[in-house]
Amino acid sequence: MNSPASGYLPYLDVTRIVAVLGVVGVHVIGGGVDAHEVGIATVALHMALKAAVPIFFMMSGALSLAPRAQRQGPGEFLRRRARRIVPALVIWSAFYLVVVRGAISGAPVESFGELMDLLVSGETYTHLYFLFAIAGLYLFTPVLASFLSEDEGRRSWVVGLIAAVWTILTVSASQAGGRGIISTVPLTAGTLTFFLLYACYYVLGRAVLVAPIPRSAAVVGLLLCPALVVGVTYVYVNSTGGLEGNAPVEPWASVLAPLYGSLPVVVYSVTLMASVSSLCRRWRVSERTESTLRTLGEATFGIFLVHFAVLVILRSMFPELQNYDAGPVAVTWTVTVLVSTVIALAGKRTPLLRVIF
């Protein structure tokens, strides 16, 4: 077994693996939830899985804000991150626009102006906003890491929680503006602003790692998570006109609608990650298991990027999988994960493809 001195925390890779499974699940059932074609159990599952994306950002912050990541200086940190994120951003955006959106889905970009709109809004494809957001966060990471380093635990919590309050207020006000409750939208999410809305998760990811909450509080937090999922589900149902989508929407539900930066999702996601981090940080594994977890953990980036293409192709080849009953959903979810994992692992071993996986 590895000792704590080895520095490897297996729960971080396990969390990344579970998170990418959650992201795939969100996209497998999301269409049915949005179209009001599923029951309350599937809606609740969708809300439970919403923590996956915030956890991805928390994992990125936990690792990128570490002193070890900054030991060669900000220039080298930014160069290493640019080599990883820029090729992926360019190539995957082009792939999804041309192949998935254009050739497979039959919705090609028809003008230069439309292309510019998609690039500015960060909507080159459903999930690729993550790349724009993380690129912005990387730019500010050396400054953040330097500030946090003197009293890392306390400062990470303080900065992260202040950023969380700002995010919640901004998202709530934007929702109110979008629904006509107020006349001003304070922030429009896009290529240059996504990182602002996820900065709280990025910093809190470091906080829960270096200054974990007490184990007793973590147990309570974990036990509260099902109730928090119920709360998020309740808000979602009320913010979308009920399960059938034809009920009146109350203003409070519009303001609290469970987006990734909303109050219900922030509370749920941070509670879940803080609890898991506290309870699992002492867990150690054998060197063989560590090697497997590292390999799968490193593959999650590629799985995240390729899975939507796999999902779209799978459903275009087998239309019966577009059904949102339990059987088709389970098959679609499983096959998408397995195929995406094989592609990502193969991509990381192929010299010309490694740069985008």
Give the pLDDT mean for 293-300.
Answer: 96
Q: What is the pLDDT of residue 180?
A: 63
Model pLDDT for residues 56-94, shown as the tens digit of each residue:
999 999 999 999 999 999 999 999 999 999 999 999 999
Give the pLDDT mean for 297-315.
Answer: 96
97 — pLDDT class (breaks 50, 70, 90):
very high
Q: What is the pLDDT of residue 76?
A: 95
- What is the number of alpha carbons within 13 Å of residue 307 lying toward its C-beta? 26
**Percent of the chain residues past pLDDT 70, beyond the cut:** 97
Q: What is the pLDDT of residue 1?
A: 43
Angle among Cα 85, 88, 93 to the nearest 5 degrees reads 125
Model pLDDT for residues 201-212, shown as the tens digit of each residue:
999 999 999 999
Q: What is the pLDDT of residue 246?
A: 87
Model pLDDT for residues 168-207, shown as the tens digit of each residue:
999 999 888 766 667 677 788 899 999 999 999 999 999 9
Q: What is the pLDDT of residue 50?
A: 96
| CB contact set of 2 (below 8 Å; sequence gap of 6+) | 8, 284, 285, 286, 287, 290
| CB contact set of 277 (below 8 Å; sequence gap of 6+) | 11, 208, 209, 212, 218
- Quote the CA–CA distance of 254 and 236 in Å, as a whole number: 9
> What is the signed CA dihedral for 274, 236, 25, 321, rounded to 10 degrees?
170
- What is the number of alpha carbons within 13 Å of residue 187 lying toward its C-beta? 18
Contact 241, 248 (CB under 8 A): yes
What is the distance between the terminal CA atoms of the chain, rounded to a whole angstrom?
30
- Nearest to residue 261, comparing CAs of 209, 199, 182, 206? 199
| CB contact set of 315 (below 8 Å; sequence gap of 6+) | 321, 322, 332
H or E segment and range at residue 291 = helix 287-317
| Residue 5 scores a pLDDT above 60 | no
Give the pLDDT mean for 279-307.
Answer: 95
| Residue 43 scores a pLDDT above 70 | yes
Give the pLDDT mean for 240-269.
Answer: 91
Give the pLDDT mean for 105-122.
Answer: 92
- Quote the CA–CA distance of 68 and 71 in Å, as a whole number: 5
Q: What is the pLDDT of residue 295?
A: 96
Rounded to an integer, what is the distance from CA 114 to the centroid of its chain?
Answer: 26
Model pLDDT for residues 147-166, shown as the tens digit of each residue:
999 899 999 999 999 999 99
Contact 42, 32 (CB under 8 A): yes
Angle subtended by helix axes 194-210 and 152-178, to nearest 10: 150
Average pLDDT, the chain: 93
Q: What is the pLDDT of residue 176?
A: 84
| Residue 4 scores a pLDDT above 70 | no
**pTM of the full structure:** 0.93
Which parts of 105-257 fold into alpha helices (H)? 112-121, 129-148, 152-178, 194-210, 215-239, 251-256
